[in-house]
Each structure stands twice: as C-alpha cells, then as structure tokens.
C-alpha cells in the first residue's frame, strides 16, 4: 500500500498558508460574476430531455454547436480542468507519465490493425491526397511509440497517459454530453513483458480509478463488460447507476457481482446440459395458419399463448456465411456472444431476400423444422422446452408442438442470449440477478498482444528472444463525467457539485452592491479565502438578492456566503448547497475559517 497522501485541496491549503506566513504578496485577482461569462437561462431548453443536459445548458456550462458537438463555456472548462487535475494526482501516484499524441492518424497505421474501416471513424485527405483518420482512440499511435522505443526487457513495465480530444461519427448522439461526436477522454496504456505483468498494471490502474471516483464523490459500479472493437480479453466498465443510462447492468444482491447485460453469462445448470430432454408427453407436430402474424407478440396473441412458448429463428450472416440462430420467444439474441462463438469479423441479420432464399418464406415465418445444410445454433434455454411453436418456413404458417430431437436437431447449443433480471448469478450461483440502468464513465481493457503483434511491437528478452509486448488500455470520458456527476447529484434548483470538481468552491453574494460596507466585507472575505487557496467567485452584480441566490443554486457552487443585512450585527450567512436547511450565521471575523472547515468536511 502506498503511504497516505494529502488530498489535493489540503495540499493547496498547506502551500497557500506557507506563502502567507512567509509574507508573500496578498493581492489577489478577484473573479467577479459581473466580469465572468456565465450565460444562464431561465427556461428549460426544448432540445434537452435529460436533467444533466438541461442543467448544463441552463447554468451556462456548455452550448451546442451541432448534433453531438458542444462548446465548453468557462464554467464547463473549469470543471474539466478540475477533473483532469484529480486524475493527474492519481496517475502521478502510480508513476504513470503524461504525454500528448496527435489527433491525425495515418491510414496505413490503422490498416495494420484492421481498424481503418471501423464505422465511427472520421476520414479526411490532405492536399497530397494522403489519407488520415481523426483519432477515435489511440491504441495504434501508442503501439507505434512502443515498437520504436521499448525494445528491451529493461524498458518494461511502462505506464503512459494523455487527456485528448476524440472524434467518433456517432449515428445517434444523445443526452447532451452523454454521447457526443467530439469529446475529451483520458486514456492510459500499460506495457509489460508477460501476462502476469499485465495483470499487475491492470490492478494498478483499477485501483487508481477507484481512488479517482472516490475523490470526486461519484459512486460507481465496476462491471464485467465487452471489449468491442478495442479488445476481447478481460475488461471492466465503471458505471454510474442512473435511469438516464444507456446500458443495462445486472447486479447480484448477494455477492456483489456486476456485469453489463451484453457481457453477462447466463448460467445453465449442469443437470440440464448433461441430460437428454424427456420425450413423454410430446404431442404430434401440426402446422397451423397464422395469416399476417410475423412478430412473437402477434403469433402468441393469435394462438392464445405466451412468448416463452415460442422459439424464434433468426438468420444471420457471419463473414458472408448464413447461420440460423434459435432463442426463446421472450429472449433476445446477444450478438456479442454470437460473434465470439462464430469467431466472426462481421455479423449482421440477413436481408429479406436472403431469408426468403434460405427458408422459402418471408421474414417472420422462418423455423428450424426441415432446414437442411444450414448451421443451427440453439440457445441453452431450448434444452428445457417441449411442444413449442416455431415458424413453418411457409408464408402465414407456424408449427405447433415442435420438439427437439424428433422434429429437428440443432448443430450445437450455446449461451447466446442477453441475460436479464431473475437469471441466476453466474458468480455465487445462489441469488437471482437484479437490473439497473447505468452510464459508462470509464472502461479498462487487457489488450494482450492484440495491437503489438500485428504492429510488430516486440521486445527482446534477456535470452535474446523477441516477444510481443503485453498491453492494457484504460479510458475515462472526461466530458461525459460532467453529465454523470449532475445526473447523480442535483435537485429542483440546479446542480450540486462535489468540492473536488466544482467550478468554484465558494460564491460570495453581496446582496446590495451600492452599500460600500457590504462590498468591502465581501472583498475582504474573498481575499482571505484566496489566501487559503480557495476558489472563490464574488457575485457583485447589481441584481436582486433572490436572483443571485437562484443563480448560485443553479450553478451548484458547494458553499454560499451572503454578505447582507446581518453585517450590521457583525455576521454573514453561510449555506452548504447540498443541504437546503444548512444556512447559519457566523461572525465576520471567523467566516474564512468556518468556510475552510466546511470545505474540508465536504471533500
């Protein structure tokens, strides 16, 4: 374990006090609300559905330029800088060195790993017609650095990171800062000699992530995940549970297991896998008319049954080869699991012409009975089904009383469906899983030699043998965190920022700007707090006090100090943003110390 370290706020406070004690200059630049750019909105923008999107726009943190493209205004940029500062602390603690990589990636480099044609890549040409991609992630660039400069076992292990703008041609940007086409991302990379070393680096970064999210007071769930286009080895997502999230997370209330639904294993008891289905009670196969009934719900309604008594047959094309996939009617095919099973580079549903050519029937009437020469992959859930309903490979017709073994035999069984709530936990095998929605804010991957092998990033062992470097990749969506933090912490009045990332820690509200005594007291408190290293915004606007209070709450600054009528009695009002009933009077002479103590308690 590393020795305890000062929280960054406390370090700043310590160094500020040293400077003041040593007689350093006490004149500070005053950040005044009247001179700062904070274009708040009173009305909720019609375009914004999520609370975070509404509040980021209303509080003047961002402005939309085009679909999925946003400008970070001064308050938004201050939050980004605070987030990056906390991350920088955590990376320094594990000797992960900061760098900066280019945004332009040559086509030739992406072709080395087969990622030039990834569908989200923005592509362009220079005046010489050389082709480039705008960086959507930086594995190739970092691997190129490794193959040039990490040639010996003495150069490993190594940890590097950057904060960099990424570009992805998202087909459906959504949720304001949740899914955008241009965003700021923290991405780190590890380089090791072997898998054991890669595991050590992976745990270092995972621990740094845990510390980071704790410091910014954002509760996350660490869930097993799919690596997608980045990598297929062990990887984990850091998820903020929120109804506005895009992902479904499955959680075990007993052992704490968590996984993205697209990654979660569906546990099938060994007794089911090893036993042949009983045939007693099988009814004769019968074809029935189902005119116009193509969907599961339509067929179930027409035949007076439920979806779990049906089997749907879906025709996929994997790397140009058709394959039939069978799942229970109330289940969904997990295309990620299916792609892994088939070891396919490309996978998609067949078009209607292909379906009709293979099955002899329009889409909606495909079934497994009578199919010859086509690979049939059945989900494990079919092992317990008897007398079910399936398409008859004829228009407007289905079979009833279909049974495995007698009427058809799958080529193989596998776990190919999306896991759902009430499935058995694959870890403890005792409790049923529960589901929740989540926002992905971080993702870490073990890459192994996925990039180093095709790009020739090898190192030389002590023996002289050349081996591929074992890599890891670690990302955090910095601008997405703006949305996730707000989704997690807000109320009817606005944002509630944690101290560590708030644009300002304190706002001093002078209620009547034409009263010289109030203005003087506000300035003196501002300077006293700045001398202690506190970020302060002085609201000196010639506005009604109520407007200033509403803006302070909307912006979400953690502590508000009101310089008003109480000054006549030698007091100011101090209020903590996250506690609406926290307002209290404090003597002017003790106000700075009281605020600093509050910030320490809130950190």
pLDDT tens digit sequence for 205-222: 999 999 999 999 999 999
In a domain, 152, yes or no: yes
Cβ atoms 218, 114 nearer than 8 A? no
- Please tell me the predicted confidence (pLDDT) of residue 3: 42
Angle 464-468-472 from CA coordinates, rounded to 5°:
135
In a domain, 2, yes or no: no
Share of the chain above pLDDT 90, in %: 86
Per-residue pLDDT band for 581 (boundaries 50, 70, 90) equals confident
Residue 242 sits in the same domain as residue 304: no
Query: Last residue of some domain: 414, 442, 458?
Result: 414
Residue 275 sits in the same domain as residue 246: no
Residue 56 sits in the same domain as residue 172: yes
Residue 272 has pLDDT above 60, yes or no: yes
Residue 258 sits in the same domain as residue 139: yes
Query: What range does the domain containing 593 cover?
Result: 8-30+504-602
The whole-model pTM stands at 0.87
> How far apart (Å, rounded) are the C-alpha atoms in residues 181 and 162?
19
- Please tell me the predicted confidence (pLDDT) of residue 19: 40
Per-residue pLDDT band for 2 (boundaries 50, 70, 90) equals very low
- Please tell me the predicted confidence (pLDDT) of residue 278: 65
In a domain, 116, yes or no: yes
Residue 215 sits in the same domain as residue 139: yes
Q: What is the mean pLDDT of residues 565-592?
A: 94
- Please tell me the predicted confidence (pLDDT) of residue 21: 36
Q: What is the mean pLDDT of residues 157-163?
A: 98
Lowest mean pLDDT among 5-9, 409-413, 420-424: 5-9
| Mean confidence (pLDDT) of the chain | 92
Q: Which residue has the higher pLDDT, 152 or 278?
A: 152
Share of the chain above pLDDT 70, in %: 93
> How far apart (Å, rounded) are the C-alpha atoms in residues 14 and 209?
25
> How far apart (Å, rounded) are the C-alpha atoms in residues 18 and 396?
84
Lowest mean pLDDT among 120-129, 225-234, 469-478: 225-234
> How far apart (Å, rounded) are the C-alpha atoms in residues 250 and 261?
6
Q: Which three-class secondary structure state does DSSP give residue 219?
A: coil
- Please tell me the predicted confidence (pLDDT) of residue 280: 72
Residue 25 sits in the same domain as residue 152: no
Residue 18 has pLDDT above 50, yes or no: no
In a domain, 3, yes or no: no
Q: What is the mean pLDDT of residues 430-448?
A: 95
Domain of 105, CATH number, reads: 3.30.930.10
Residue 358 sits in the same domain as residue 251: no
- Whether the ω angle into residue 300 lies within 30 degrees of 0, i.e. cis, is no
Q: Which of 98, 143, 99, 85 is nearest to 473 (CA)?
A: 143
Q: What is the mean pLDDT of residues 326-345?
A: 94
Residue 318 has pLDDT above 80, yes or no: yes
Angle, to 10 degrees, between the axis of helix 74-93 and the axis of helix 195-215?
140
Q: What is the mean pLDDT of residues 182-198?
A: 97
Q: Which three-class secondary structure state does DSSP give residue 595?
A: helix
> How far apart (Å, rounded) are the C-alpha atoms in residues 602 and 506?
12
Which residues on neighbouring strands pair with residue 165, listed in sequence order?
A: 184
pLDDT in tens, 246-268: 899 999 999 999 999 989 999 88
Residue 232 has pLDDT above 60, yes or no: yes
Per-residue pLDDT band for 396 (boundaries 50, 70, 90) equals very high
Domain of 403, CATH number, reads: 3.90.960.10
> How far apart (Å, rounded) are the C-alpha atoms in residues 178 and 52?
9
Per-residue pLDDT band for 231 (boundaries 50, 70, 90) equals low
Which residues on neighbouring strands pair with residue 250, listed in sequence order?
A: 259, 435
Which residues on neighbouring strands pair with residue 434, listed in sequence order?
A: 251
Q: What is the mean pLDDT of residues 83-93?
A: 98
Residue 90 sits in the same domain as residue 149: yes
Per-residue pLDDT band for 6 (boundaries 50, 70, 90) equals very low
Q: Which residue has the higher pLDDT, 113 or 227?
A: 113
Residue 284 sits in the same domain as residue 385: yes
- Please tell me the predicted confidence (pLDDT) of residue 345: 84
Residue 55 sits in the same domain as residue 185: yes
- Please tell me the predicted confidence (pLDDT) of residue 26: 54
Per-residue pLDDT band for 228 (boundaries 50, 70, 90) equals low
- Please tell me the predicted confidence (pLDDT) of residue 178: 95
Q: What is the mean pLDDT of residues 499-521?
A: 97
> How far apart (Å, rounded) are the C-alpha atoms in residues 557 and 537?
9
In a domain, 363, yes or no: yes
Residue 492 has pLDDT above 50, yes or no: yes
pLDDT in tens, 524-565: 999 999 999 999 999 999 999 999 999 999 999 999 999 999
- Please tell me the predicted confidence (pLDDT) of residue 233: 75
Q: Which of 441, 86, 101, 404 is nearest to 244 (CA)?
A: 441
In a domain, 424, yes or no: no
> How far apart (Å, rounded) are the C-alpha atoms in residues 129 and 11?
51
In a domain, 493, yes or no: no
Residue 23 sits in the same domain as residue 145: no
Taken in order 358, 360, 366, 369, is the CA torsion positive or negative? Answer: negative
Residue 438 sits in the same domain as residue 515: no
Cβ atoms 600, 559 nearer than 8 A? no
Residue 109 has pLDDT above 50, yes or no: yes
Phi, psi values for residue 120, rounded to 5°: -95, 5
How many domains does one find in the chain?
Answer: 3
Expressed in angstroms, the distance from the first to the final Cα of the chain is 22
- Strand residues in 39-181 grouped as ranges (E): 62-66, 69-72, 97-98, 104-106, 123-125, 131-134, 158-167
Using CA atoms, how far residue 468 sits from 69, 158, 159, 471, in Å, is: 38, 14, 16, 9
Cβ atoms 595, 561 nearer than 8 A? yes
Domain of 509, CATH number, reads: 3.40.50.800
In a domain, 324, yes or no: yes
- Please tell me the predicted confidence (pLDDT) of residue 230: 57
């Amino acid at each position: 374990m590393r020795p305890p370290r000062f929280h960054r706020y406390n370090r700043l406070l310590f160094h500020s006090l040293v400077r003041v004690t040593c007689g350093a200059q006490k004149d500070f630049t005053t950040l005044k609300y009247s001179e700062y750019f904070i274009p708040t909105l009173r009305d909720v923008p019609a375009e914004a559905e999520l609370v975070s999107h509404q509040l980021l726009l209303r509080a003047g943190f961002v402005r939309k330029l085009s679909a999925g493209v946003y400008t970070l205004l001064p308050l938004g940029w201050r939050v980004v800088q605070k987030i990056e500062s906390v991350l920088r602390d955590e990376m320094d603690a594990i000797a992960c060195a900061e760098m900066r990589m280019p945004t332009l990636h040559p086509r030739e480099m992406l072709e080395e790993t087969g990622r030039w044609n990834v569908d989200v890549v923005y592509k362009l040409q220079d005046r010489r017609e050389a082709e480039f991609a705008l960086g959507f992630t930086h594995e190739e660039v970092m691997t190129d650095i490794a193959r040039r400069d990490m040639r010996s076992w003495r150069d490993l292990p190594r940890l590097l990171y950057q904060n960099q703008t990424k570009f992805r041609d998202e087909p459906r940007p959504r949720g304001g800062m949740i899914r955008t086409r241009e965003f700021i991302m923290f991405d780190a990379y590890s380089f090791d000699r072997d898998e054991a070393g890669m595991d050590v680096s992976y745990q270092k970064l995972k621990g740094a992530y845990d510390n980071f999210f704790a410091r910014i007071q954002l509760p996350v769930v660490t869930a097993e995940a799919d690596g997608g286009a980045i990598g297929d080895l062990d990887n984990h997502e850091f998820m903020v549970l929120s109804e506005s999230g895009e992902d479904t997370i499955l959680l075990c209330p007993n052992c704490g297991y968590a996984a993205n639904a697209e990654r979660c294993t569906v546990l099938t008891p060994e007794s089911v896998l090893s036993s042949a289905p009983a045939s007693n009670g099988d009814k004769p196969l019968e074809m029935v008319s189902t005119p116009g009934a193509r969907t599961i719900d339509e067929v179930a309604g027409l035949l007076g049954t439920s979806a779990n008594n049906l089997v749907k047959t879906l025709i996929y094309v994997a790397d140009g080869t058709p394959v039939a996939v069978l799942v229970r009617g109330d289940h969904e095919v997990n295309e990620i699991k299916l792609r892994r099973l088939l070891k396919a580079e490309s996978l998609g549903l067949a078009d209607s012409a292909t379906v009709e050519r293979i099955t002899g029937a329009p889409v909606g009437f495909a079934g497994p009975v009578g199919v010859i020469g086509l690979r049939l992959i059945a989900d494990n859930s079919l092992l317990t089904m008897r007398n079910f309903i399936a398409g008859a490979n004829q228009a407007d017709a289905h079979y009833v009383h279909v049974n495995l073994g007698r009427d058809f035999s799958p080529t193989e069984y596998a776990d190919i469906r999306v896991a759902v709530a009430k499935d058995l936990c694959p870890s403890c095998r005792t409790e049923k899983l529960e589901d929740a929605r989540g926002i992905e804010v971080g993702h870490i991957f073990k890459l192994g030699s996925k990039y180093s092998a095709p790009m020739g990033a090898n190192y030389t062992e002590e023996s002289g043998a050349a081996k591929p470097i074992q890599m890891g990749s670690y990302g955090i969506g910095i601008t997405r965190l703006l949305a996730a933090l707000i989704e997690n912490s807000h109320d009817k009045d606005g944002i509630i920022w944690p101290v560590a990332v708030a644009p300002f820690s304190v706002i001093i509200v002078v209620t009547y700007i034409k009263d010289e005594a109030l203005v003087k007291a506000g300035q003196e408190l501002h300077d006293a707090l700045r001398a202690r290293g506190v970020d302060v915004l002085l609201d000196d606007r010639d506005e009604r006090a109520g407007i200033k209070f509403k803006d302070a709450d909307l912006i979400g600054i953690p502590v508000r100090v009101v310089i008003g009528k109480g000054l006549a009695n030698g007091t100011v009002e101090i209020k903590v943003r996250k506690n609406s009933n926290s307002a209290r009077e404090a003597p002017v002479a003790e106000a700075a110390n009281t605020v600093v103590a509050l910030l320490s308690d809130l950190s």
